[in-house]
Amino acid sequence: MHPLLSYAQSKHNEIVALLREMVECESPTDDAAAVNRFVDLLGDKVSGAGKVKTCPGGKFGRHFQCEFALPGRRKTGRILALGHSDTVWPLGSLRSMPFREAEGRLWGPGILDMKAGLAFFLFAMRALRELEIPVRRNVALQVNADEEVGSDTSRPITEKEARRSAAVLVLEPGTGLSGKLKTARKGVGAFEVTVRGRASHAGVDFEAGASAIVELARQIDRIAAFTNLKRGITVNPGVIEGGSRSNVVAAEARVEVDIRVARLKDAPGLEKKFRSLRPFDKRCSIEISGGLNRPPMERSAGVVELFRLARRLGAEMGVVVEESATGGGSDGNFTAALGVPTLDGLGGVGEGAHAPNESILVDRIADRTALIAALVAAL
């Protein structure tokens, strides 16, 4: 058997134990103290294996960085592994969804997105050390504290680290129950459209009013038509709000719109369409804010090359490695957009990210850990 795979299998119980500790250390984005507890736990687990530092994340928890000490002389360049410490689950979620093993899976808040990827990576680094497999590059791990809310404070750090890296390996979950790697992700953005009309009494003075709600409804119809499925552009009016009482002509109404683009070059055109929205009823005014947050991760030649390497390394272990494209964003969007070859989806194989059935497949723990180790050694 492949030495990395047999190493990972021999460590199965230890990996599960680490995962349990990680999941039971809850770390919702909006609770900096909780995220920092998780960051401390990470630091404990890598102590001795590398140099750890953290940097402030503003109102969020601290961002974590570790430079690993690995076998191999004369290293040139570096590889950046990327993950996040925060989850979407509030403190206390463990009460209704405790860490447990059942039906061939491990369950718990944040296990798939993305504590499994972090646990696999730590054991992959241990495998390289203990098997004394030489590595040609310096290897760094960065774990951001604000990924689930858009990575505003970590983005500059991620981009700075990526610029000095030859490749980025993203430890987010794979796609579906076969754990396909991710070679393309859509760009993600948000717009808020606020309409201001003129309030009046719906009975006494109806004609003096200009309904912001009626105006917004017409605008939403227009906005929804910006979707172009063939080009991978989606526009989703996801939240609406407005009005005060049914007998008042509404003075104000707003919509929050999620946008996704497969290609960066489609973003400016879409933004322009939003900015050129004009009121149907001239008595109303429209205010637009927002734009693209994460650029798309496009399937560049560098990305494809990384994927092919992973596929070959997987085949050497008897594992079929496939690729996929997704509409969801990750911090890999930022690094790929800089032109740094990025391979995403290397973490847990399972389902239910952000959902109560969040879980990973037990029998895919070892091969994922071994694949990450093999990639780091081969790059």
Reduced to 3 states, what is the DSSP secondary structure of residue 135? coil
Among the residue ranges 111-119, 155-163, 245-253, 284-292, the one whose residues contact Zn ion (CB under 5 A): 111-119
Which tokens belong to 191?
A: 């717009």
146 touching Zn ion, by CB under 5 A: no
**Angle of CA points 88, 331, 153, to nearest 5°:** 75
Q: What is the largest CA-CA distance in the chain?
A: 84
In the complex, the smallest distance separating the C-beta of residue 31 from Zn ion, rounded to whole angstroms, is: 17
Phi, psi of 271 (to 5 degrees): -60, -40
CB closer to Zn ion out of 144 and 219 = 144
Q: How far is the CB of 310 from Zn ion (least distance, A)?
A: 19
Comparing CB distances to Zn ion, the nearer of 161 and 331 is: 331
Report if residue 344 touches Zn ion, rule: CB under 5 A. Answer: no
Q: Give the contact letters, 169-198, x = binds to Zn ion (CB under 5 A), - = no.
A: ---x--------------------------
Residue 74 CB partners (closer than 8 Å, separation 6+): none
- Nearest approach in angstroms of CB 171 to Zn ion is 9
Choice between 148 and 215, CB closer to Zn ion: 148
114 binds Zn ion (CB under 5 A): yes
* 190 DSSP β-pair partners: 258, 291
Which structure tokens are listed for 357?
């059935």
**Contacts of 282 by beta carbon, 8 Å cutoff, 6+ apart:** none
- State the nearest-atom distance from the C-beta of 60 to Zn ion, in Å: 15
Q: Which stretch binds Zn ion (CB under 5 A): 92-100, 168-176, 185-193, 206-214?
A: 168-176
Return the range that interacts with Zn ion (CB under 5 A); candidates 5-13, 90-98, 110-118, 219-227.
110-118
- Measured between alpha carbons, how far is 235 from 227 in angstroms, rounded to an integer? 5
Q: Which of 206, 187, 209 is nearest to 271 (CA)?
A: 187
Two tokens, residue 367 = 């091969």
Handedness of CA 358, 104, 17, 48 (dihedral sign): negative
Judged by CB under 5 A, how many residues of this single chain contact Zn ion? Answer: 3
Q: Quote the least distance from Cβ 88 to Zn ion, whole Å.
A: 9
Q: Which stretch binds Zn ion (CB under 5 A): 5-13, 164-172, 182-190, 255-263?
A: 164-172
314 or 329, CB closer to Zn ion?
329
Cis peptide before 297 (omega within 30 of 0): no
Of 113, 298, 358, 367, the residue at the interface with Zn ion (CB under 5 A) is 113
Answer yes or no: are the C-beta atoms of 103 and 352 closer than 8 Å.
no
The residue range among 92-100, 112-120, 321-329, 337-345 that interacts with Zn ion, by the rule CB under 5 A, is 112-120
| Crossing angle of the two packed helices 12-24 and 3-10, in degrees rounded to 10 | 60
Tell me whether residue 172 or residue 298 sits nearer to Zn ion (CB atom): 172
Closest distance between Zn ion and the C-beta of residue 330, in Å? 6
Stretch that binds Zn ion, among 158-166, 167-175, 188-196, 238-246 (CB under 5 A): 167-175
Nearer to Zn ion, 46 or 114 (CB): 114
Based on DSSP, count helices (H) and strands (E) in the chain, helices before strands: 11, 18
Residue bearing tokens 């606020």:
194
Q: Do the Cβ atoms of 45 and 121 come closer than 8 Å? A: no
SS (H, E, C) 18-44: HHHHHHHCCCECCCHHHHHHHHHHHHH
Whichever of 177 and 224 has its CB closer to Zn ion, that residue is 177
Binding site for Zn ion (CB under 5 A): 113-114, 172
